Amino acid sequence: MASRADNIASNLSLANFSKATELKQRIWFTIGALIIFRFLSFVPLPGVNPLILEDLYDQTRGGILDLFNTFSGGSLERMSIIALGIMPYITASIVVQLAAALHPTLAAIKKEGESGRKKLNQYTRYGAVFLTAIQGWFLASGLESYAAQSGLEAVVDPGYMFRIVAVISLVGGTMFLLWLGEQITSRGIGNGVSLIIMAGIVAQFPTFTANLFEGGRSGSISPAIIIGFVVMVVALILLICYVERAQRRLLIQYPKRASQHGMMQADRSHLPLKLNTSGVIPPIFASSLLLLPLTISQFAGNSVDTESMSGQVIVTLNQYLQHGQPLYMSLYAAGIIFFCFFYTAVVFNPEETADNLKRNGGFIPGIRPGKNTASYLDYVLTRITVVGAIYLTVVCVVPEYMIAQTGIPLFLGGTSLLIVVNVTVDTITQIQSHLLAHQYGDLIKKAKLKGRIR
């Protein structure tokens, strides 16, 4: 049986891809959905002059909005109807998950199973609508205030009607992206929300790569910095691929059972614990939490009097929370570490795992079943989570600090690379799983045919 499984796994190639009709349909559906996402990023908000937007955005380039613009695939730069992207939904999901871990009522809903999960998802959607409306209002107000300061009339007819229309359009765009991501998850390949974020980042690759080499040609960026940047990117990709596949495998022993030959034989298996159990969730969550107040403060800072106390506070906040500043990097690193432990605790419950092992007769050698097993699993998981948190912090924070100091384009930091590499690996894994299922389906059909012939 093991050799047959190895042969099936080795035969997963492009030759078998042509026979997997369902897989091809899923891939084409995913590609089509991502194309729709890219088309929407070029649809401007009603009442906005797209010819003025580029000059207007250049005045704020280099700030926190660059990261927001990268995650939205350039939609913020063009002020499209999906300018806020999927980030409000991610922020809302953070709030709901934190509330479910702290509030008894939501914790009870979470334990209801599938029905509880649907209720929490509905609360998350309500929160996404609320956050999108708030961010959209400040975004529209910021566009109007920029025109008064810079003389660039980006809004054709400013006023409350424009703000209301902009909020409705942005809420509709974000909720459509959420629906599109759910369709990709159910009818396509991979996690739809992650694929949309990755598509937005990848869409910026050609532009920023051209700007990087143009800077080298013009002399604004030295060739040594460009070479070092390329080496850093390659090293980060290799490190991410290596660590994301790293596991701590715990030996699980089962009681001896009688085999076919009458001999007593003990079954063994392994419980794999990934070094980075939380994946790309911590940097995305930390970024979204920082982007929410910073977006509001940056746009609100253009509509207040800088001589007033509140105006000075907002200006100072924007200065200290720019990329490369110690305060921003410290908050970002603290957010990554916190969400590493929080999300790991959400997706892996040591007590539940220990109960399942005890129910099935399994145990870890040298550890008593039950509470001792749960304590041991929690101990091991905490130790590897510490290593995973340090890895994520180094990968996400250090490259972005170096990029901010050297002036290299911001988009290709550790966070962007981590998201792209992780989502790509997960997508390839799901494609291989579909191919493997197709291979097993063919074997079952052939076995049935042979049985009928005999």
* Rounded percentage of the chain residues whose pLDDT exceeds 70: 74
Query: Which residue's structure tokens are 């850093």?
Result: 232
Q: What is the pTM of this model?
A: 0.77
256 has a pLDDT exceeding 70: no
* Residue 52 sits in the same domain as residue 188: yes
- Highest-scoring range by mean pLDDT, 34-38, 252-256, 267-271, 412-416: 34-38
Boundary residue ending a domain (170, 203, 236): 203
Helices (H), 245-349: 281-300, 309-320, 326-347
Q: Given this model, what pLDDT does residue 55 score? A: 66
CA–CA separation, 182 and 128 (whole Å): 15
CA–CA separation, 75 and 127 (whole Å): 22
CA–CA separation, 43 and 177 (whole Å): 14
Q: At 88, is the pLDDT very low, low, confident or very high (cuts 50, 70, 90)?
A: confident
132 has a pLDDT exceeding 60: yes
Q: Given this model, what pLDDT does residue 5 score? A: 42
Q: What is the mean pLDDT of residues 323-339?
A: 83
One-letter amino acid for residue 234 of the chain: V
* Residue 187 sits in the same domain as residue 228: no
* Residue 424 sits in the same domain as residue 377: yes
Q: Given this model, what pLDDT does residue 416 score? A: 81
The two tokens of residue 186 are 């159910």
CB 194 within 8 A of CB 163: no
Q: Is residue 46 part of a domain?
A: yes
* Residue 290 sits in the same domain as residue 164: no
* Residue 375 sits in the same domain as residue 265: yes
Q: Is residue 42 part of a domain?
A: yes
Q: Is residue 236 part of a domain?
A: yes
Q: At 10, is the pLDDT very low, low, confident or very high (cuts 50, 70, 90)?
A: very low
Q: Is residue 450 part of a domain?
A: no
Q: Is residue 7 part of a domain?
A: no
* Residue 251 sits in the same domain as residue 381: yes
Q: Given this model, what pLDDT does residue 76 score? A: 73
CA–CA separation, 171 and 279 (whole Å): 28
CB 440 within 8 A of CB 96: no
Q: What is the mean pLDDT of residues 22-32?
A: 87
Boundary residue ending a domain (169, 203, 237): 203
* Residue 128 sits in the same domain as residue 241: no
Q: Is 165 helix (H, G, I), strand (E, B) or coil?
A: helix
Least confident of 101-110, 167-176, 201-210, 262-271: 262-271
Q: What is the mean pLDDT of residues 54-67?
A: 60
CA–CA separation, 372 and 360 (whole Å): 16
Q: What is the mean pLDDT of the chain?
A: 77
Rg of the chain over Cα atoms, rounded to whole angstroms, equals 26
Q: What is the mean pLDDT of residues 300-317?
A: 58
36 has a pLDDT exceeding 50: yes
Residues 6+ apart with CB under 8 A from 289: 91, 94, 335
Q: Given this model, what pLDDT does residue 445 score? A: 59
Q: Given this model, what pLDDT does residue 129 score? A: 93
Q: Is residue 5 part of a domain?
A: no
Least confident of 30-39, 181-190, 219-228: 219-228
CA–CA separation, 171 and 91 (whole Å): 14
Query: Which residue's structure tokens are 């800077």?
Result: 215
Strand blocks (E) in 344-431: none
* Residue 179 sits in the same domain as residue 231: no
* Residue 150 sits in the same domain as residue 259: no
* Residue 66 sits in the same domain as residue 150: yes
Q: Is 156 helix (H, G, I), strand (E, B) or coil?
A: coil
Q: Is residue 255 part of a domain?
A: yes
One-letter amino acid for residue 287 of the chain: S
* Bigger pLDDT: 360 vs 320: 360
Q: Is residue 211 part of a domain?
A: no
| 47-82 burial: b if 16+ Cβ within 10 Å, else e | bbbeebbeebbeebeebbbbbbbbbbbbbbbbbbbb
CA–CA separation, 71 and 245 (whole Å): 25
Q: What is the mean pLDDT of residues 165-194?
A: 89
CA–CA separation, 168 and 163 (whole Å): 9
Q: Given this model, what pLDDT does residue 390 score? A: 92
Domain that holds residue 295: 221-437
398 has a pLDDT exceeding 50: yes
* CA dist list (Å): 346 to 55, 98, 246, 279, 343: 44, 10, 20, 13, 5
Q: Given this model, what pLDDT does residue 422 score? A: 85
Q: State the CATH number of the domain containing residue 305.
A: 1.10.3370.10
370 has a pLDDT exceeding 90: no
Q: Given this model, what pLDDT does residue 4 score? A: 43
Q: At 179, is the pLDDT very low, low, confident or very high (cuts 50, 70, 90)?
A: very high
Total domain count for the chain? 2
CB 414 within 8 A of CB 399: yes
CA–CA separation, 80 and 200 (whole Å): 13
Boundary residue ending a domain (203, 232, 262): 203
Q: Given this model, what pLDDT does residue 2 score? A: 40
Q: At 337, is the pLDDT very low, low, confident or very high (cuts 50, 70, 90)?
A: very high
* Residue 285 sits in the same domain as residue 414: yes
What is the DSSP-derived secondary structure letter of residue 153?
-
Least confident of 1-15, 139-153, 294-308: 1-15
* Residue 184 sits in the same domain as residue 253: no
CA–CA separation, 204 and 314 (whole Å): 30
- φ, ψ (nearest 5 deg) of residue 257: -130, 155
405 has a pLDDT exceeding 50: yes
Q: At 309, is the pLDDT very low, low, confident or very high (cuts 50, 70, 90)?
A: low
Q: Given this model, what pLDDT does residue 16 score? A: 64
